[in-house]
Chains A and B, each alone.
Chain A
Amino acid sequence: ELKVEQNPLFLSMQEGKNYTIYCNYSTTSDRLYWYRQDPGKSLESLFVLLSNGAVKQEGRLMASLDTKARLSTLHITAAVHDLSATYFCAVDGGSGGGADGLTFGKGTHLIIQP
């Protein structure tokens, strides 16, 4: 059974600081996704990582994937209050046959204080 672990689950940080959220998963997969969720809202796609060594950046967020270590990171640079949200990593696959859907981590609740 595919397991996805995120840490930390809760993070309070100050504006201007840098931090990294980690996502470990238990089985071979090269498809990993990061989502943002604001309270009461849907899941907004941030990054789609489809190969070992993939690195993507959007604004103050950068995500990477190491399939050999089964690890993805979401790095926040010079955090601003608007980035406060819950961030989920999710891994696709289990059977390898497709349409397996996503297995999600428990989410990282990020609060960025002025």
Chain B
Amino acid sequence: DTAVSQTPKYLVTQMGNDKSIKCEQNLGHDTMYWYKQDSKKFLKIMFSYNNKELIINETVPNRFSPKSPDKAHLNLHINSLELGDSAVYFCASTLGILANYGYTFGSGTRLTVV
């Protein structure tokens, strides 16, 4: 199936731990994004990459570090997890930076920090 796939789907971890979320798309897109959806369902962009290069880095703590080994993958590593990091993280991709064909979202990773 062509899609944006994220792993893991659920992640429960203790404060202070380091964790990673992986994202892969097989749509041939060249631009990928990370979004955070908080407990009130508000969605906010965190990062965008175009052809492996960082384009946008919104006001996100340095504990969050995206990595794009190639244009089909965009991973998110989070250091020293805090309670406030609990959220659903969505990966998305587009063809071209102007997204004329829309954005395709992954299924999300629900992160719970305890």
Give A contacts to B, CB under 8 Å: 31, 33, 35, 37, 41-43, 45, 48, 50, 86, 88, 90, 92, 97-104, 106-107
Contact = CB atoms under 8 A, between A and B. Distances in A.
A35 to B, nearest CB: 8
Interface of B: 31, 33, 35, 40-45, 48-50, 55-56, 90, 94, 96-108
Contacts of A92: 98-99
B90 to A, nearest CB: 7
A34 to B, nearest CB: 10
Contacts of B97: 97-99
Nearest to A48: B102
A86 B88 CA distance: 15
B48 A45 contact: no
A50 B102 CA distance: 10
Contacts of B108: 41-42
